[in-house]
Amino acid sequence: MIDRTSVVRLALRKLPQQERSVQRLEAILDSAMSLVLEKDVSTVTMSEIAQRAGIPIGSLYQFFPQKAAVLKALHDRLSMEIEDRVSQIFSGVSSLEEAAKRGADALFELHTLFRERPIFMSIWQAIQSDKDLNHLSNDYHEHLMGIFLKDLAHLIPAEDLGKVRVTLKLFIITSGDVIRFATSQGPETARLYLDRWHQIVRTSLFTY
pLDDT above 90 covers a percentage of the chain that reads 66
Residue 48 confidence class, pLDDT cut points 50, 70, 90: very high
Mean pLDDT over 163-180 rounds to 92
Q: What is the mean pLDDT of the chain?
A: 90
The C-alpha atoms of residue 97 and residue 43 are separated, in whole angstroms, by 47
Q: What's the pLDDT band for 4 if we cut at 50, 70, 90?
A: low
What pLDDT, in 10s, does the model give residues 102-121? 999 999 999 999 999 999 99
Indicate the domain borders of the chain: 4-70, 71-204
Reference 118, options 23, 21, 188, 33; nearest CA is 33
Confidence of residue 156 (pLDDT cuts 50, 70, 90): very high
pLDDT of res. 166? 92
DSSP labels, the chain = ---HHHHHHHS-S----SHHHHHHHHHHHHHHHHHHHHS-GGG--HHHHHHHHTS-HHHHHHH-SSHHHHHHHHHHHHHHHHHHHHTTTTTT--SHHHHHHHHHHHHHHHHHHHHH-THHHHHHHHHHT-HHHHHHHHHHHHHHHHHHHHHHGGGS-GGGHHHHHHHHHHHHHHHHHHHHHHHTS-HHHHHHHHHHHHHHHHHHTT--
- pTM, two decimal places: 0.83
Residue type (1 letter), 20: R
Determine the pLDDT at residue 6.
Answer: 65
- How far apart, in whole angstroms, are the C-alpha atoms of residue 68 and residue 66? 6
The fold for domain 4-70 equals Arc Repressor Mutant, subunit A (1.10.10)
